[in-house]
Amino acid sequence: MGKFEDERKAMVELLRKRGIKDENVLRAMEKVPRHLFVPEAFIHYAYEDSALPIGFYQTISQPYTVALMTEALEVKPGDKILEVGTGSGYQAAILAEMGAKVFTIERFEELLKTALETLSKLGYNVIGMVGDGSIGWSEFAPYDGIIVTAAAPKIPKSLVNQLKVNGHLVIPIGDLEVQELYIIKKIDEHKLDIKKKFGFKFVPLIGKEGWSEEKSKNNGR
């Protein structure tokens, strides 16, 4: 039996109990070794349903949040997905395990480097770049889905433009204290269907179509 396999199964059971239904998401989360995406010091907390620090004041998102956001994306094998906020690389691994072609952008070079190393060791072919993901990654657009793992003050127009019709953009929107998770479906070039879920807390999306670094330090003022 592989390392932490029982813990991973228990985590997935909890996700089921909390309402995650997409079997493809649950299967991926049962397979990907989350403990390899957290710093050594937190390895024994890797399968608890909580966010954990990964350095640079950033976090690996809570498993429930990863599952919920991934489910909302409605990923199909072969889909081209843009992730904004690579962090540890765990979310990218879940998407790759589900058969998506993943493009991911991270502000911090060191985080991206470590994440891509971990992903490559596990055999996931994810394409990453250091940069401001609030303006997307036009080179590979349009995308079947876009997932933003940091909170923005409003919906970034560039990301909507880089999304295919019928694709989903999943992004936390709000102030710096609390956000709603927006599940946005692009109906056509001019129409969006937006569903919202309450009560999330993400680190800020810092960039041209996110928060300015200064405002994020002054709590939005």
Task: Give the residue numbers marked as catalytic.
Answer: 61
Choice from 4, 90, 103, 200 touching ligand SAM (CB under 6 A) = 90
Choice from 63, 87, 145, 172 touching ligand SAM (CB under 6 A) = 87
Asked if 70 touches ligand SAM (CB under 6 A), the answer is no
CB of 145 to ligand SAM, least distance (A): 14
Asked if 118 touches ligand SAM (CB under 6 A), the answer is no
DSSP, residue by residue, the chain: --TTHHHHHHHHHHHHHTT---HHHHHHHHHS-GGGGS-GGGGGGTTSSS-EEEETTEEEPPHHHHHHHHHHHT--TT-EEEEE--TTSHHHHHHHHTT-EEEEEES-HHHHHHHHHHHHHTT---EEEES-GGG--GGG--EEEEEE-SBBSS--HHHHHTEEEEEEEEEEEE-SS-EEEEEEEEEETTEEEEEEEEEE---B-BSTTSB-HHHHHTTT-
Asked if 65 touches ligand SAM (CB under 6 A), the answer is no
Asked if 201 touches ligand SAM (CB under 6 A), the answer is no
Task: Please state whether the peptide bond connecting residue 77 to the residue before it is cis, i.e. omega within 30 degrees of 0.
Answer: no
Asked if 38 touches ligand SAM (CB under 6 A), the answer is no
Is the CB of 182 or the CB of 202 nearer to ligand SAM?
202
Which residue, 31, 29, 136, is CA-closest to 80? 136
Which residue, 109, 8, 18, is CA-closest to 117? 109
Choice from 111, 163, 183, 184 touching ligand SAM (CB under 6 A) = 111
CB of 207 to ligand SAM, least distance (A): 3
Choice from 4, 103, 108, 137 touching ligand SAM (CB under 6 A) = 108
Asked if 172 touches ligand SAM (CB under 6 A), the answer is no
Residues touching ligand SAM: how many (CB under 6 A)?
26
Asked if 132 touches ligand SAM (CB under 6 A), the answer is yes
Q: Tell me how far apart the alpha carbons of residues 42 and 52 are, in angstroms, rounded to a whole number.
A: 8
Is the CB of 183 or the CB of 203 nearer to ligand SAM?
203
Q: Which stretch binds ligand SAM (CB under 6 A): 55-63, 121-129, 190-198, 212-220?
A: 55-63
Is the CB of 12 or the CB of 150 nearer to ligand SAM?
150
Q: Does residue 119 contact residue 89 with C-beta atoms inside 8 Å?
A: yes
Instruction: Return residues touching ligand SAM (CB under 6 A).
Output: 58-61, 84-85, 87-88, 90-91, 105-108, 111, 132-134, 149-150, 202-203, 205-207, 210
